[in-house]
Amino acid sequence: MNTVLESLNRALLNALKTDERVLLMGEDILDPYGGSFKVSKGLSTKFPKRVLTTPISEAGFTGLAAGMAMRGLLPVVEIMFGDFVTLIADQLINHIVKFPWMYNQKVTVPIVIRAPMGGRRGYGPTHSQTLEKLYLGVPGLVVLAPTALGNPGRLLEVAIFQEKRPVLFVENKLLYLSKLFDINSSPDYSLEQIVLKRDHLEKTENYYPYPIYVLKIADAPKCDLTLVTYGYMAEVARNAMLRLAYESEIFVEMIVPTILAPYQCAPVIRSLDKSKRLLVVEEGTLTLGWGAEVITRVVEQLPNRLRAIHRLASKDFPIPASGYLEREFLPNEEDIVAKVRKIMKES
């Protein structure tokens, strides 16, 4: 498994092999097509009765999957483009996440909804968005985002088999072809994996099985700035970190959570105790985004103790189909480098 796509495909194959309760459903996922981004390729050939193609009705087959989950099955739903998570809002927000509360915790709805998000492929304003922020504040919903830094397939398997709550699994389209990060062949970096305990009010497992990664420049003499990001933006920021270190002697520590909601702030606070400077980077639009919540949590816990707090995100406009304009709208490596240099200069 060299790429994120291969890791996710292998995870789905393993899940289908391991447990007959696992089903995969979505539009155009049958072979030989295997889905728009080929994450499902080969699965229907091996498991024709449990890989189900659906009509073009996201609300319909998500609702069907919810019923399956309540009856003891483990459905995995593939949304063709993440933009279409808007079509499942009623099923997810008003039904799926609320059923355990409505029925006094006598039912669970262990459904995993996979959603390819993000731009940079010229698909235009309705097929290039990063919309997970619409779901980050929904009580009872877990929002996960795989990254090339760890094992994205393992993350998906944990979501399928260990998580009793519904999961929105956010897969950035450009991340699919990213090679899995091998720390042993990357002497420029050091990587730490953190697994956090749950809040004391939780009554289930006492830990989140979703790691948070801390990436540093190897043997960095200091920590000048804490950068918090996730998904494909971690790949973009990783290159920016090297440039900043070798061109400007600015050393960045990057925090990459795989769980976006419920949000866990502890590793960010630990890093900020050293750096005193924070930059949050996301591909979603700037206003009222994930980064705003990260910053709010930090400010609540570290009042008047930071030297700089900044965000970098997409512009608050629909994403253009033009490749040139799309690059101007979405945050990139140059933007991160320029932003960090400006922060260091002004603080």
Which pLDDT score is estimated for 300?
95
Q: Model confidence at 281, in pLDDT bands (50, 70, 90)?
A: very high
pLDDT bracket for residue 49 (50, 70, 90):
very high
What amino acid occupies position 169?
A: F
pLDDT of residue 208: 67
pLDDT of residue 322: 94
Q: Is the pLDDT of residue 200 over 80?
A: no
pLDDT at 203: 43
How far is the C-alpha of 34 from the C-alpha of 29, rounded, in Å? Answer: 4
Q: Please give the C-alpha separations between residue 130 and each of 111, 191, 198, 266, in angstroms, as whole numbers.
A: 21, 26, 27, 25
Confidence at residue 201, expressed as pLDDT on a 0 to 100 scale: 40
* Tokens 């009793």, located at residue: 164
DSSP H helical ranges for 129-189: 152-161
Residue with structure tokens 């930059």?
A: 279
What pLDDT, on the 0 to 100 scale, is given for residue 21?
Answer: 98
C-alpha–C-alpha distance, residues 295 and 281, integer Å: 11
The stretch 328-341 carries a mean pLDDT of 97
**What local confidence, expressed as pLDDT, does residue 209 receive?**
81
Q: Is the pLDDT of residue 44 over 80?
A: yes
**Band of residue 157 on the pLDDT scale cut at 50, 70, 90:** very high
pLDDT of 343 above 80: yes
> What number is the average pLDDT over the span 92-118?
97
d(CA 243, CA 239): 7
Average pLDDT over residues 279-293: 97
- Least confident stretch, 118-127, 206-215, 266-275, 330-339: 206-215
For residue 279, report the phi and psi dihedrals to the nearest 5 degrees.
-130, 125
Does residue 33 surpass a pLDDT of 60? Answer: yes
Predicted local distance difference test score (pLDDT) of residue 197: 67
- For 203-250, write each residue's pLDDT tens digit: 444 456 899 999 999 999 999 999 999 999 999 999 999 999 999 999
pLDDT for res 103: 95
Domains and CATH numbers, the chain: 4-177 (3.40.50.970), 183-346 (3.40.50.920)
- Percentage of the chain beyond pLDDT 70 is 96
User: Average pLDDT of 56-66?
Assistant: 97
Q: What is the DSSP string of 246-308?
A: HHH---EEEEEESEEES---HHHHHHHHHH-EEEEEEEEESTT-HHHHHHHHHHHHSTT--SE
- Residue range 259-273: average pLDDT? 93
Q: How large a percentage of the chain has pLDDT more than 90?
A: 92
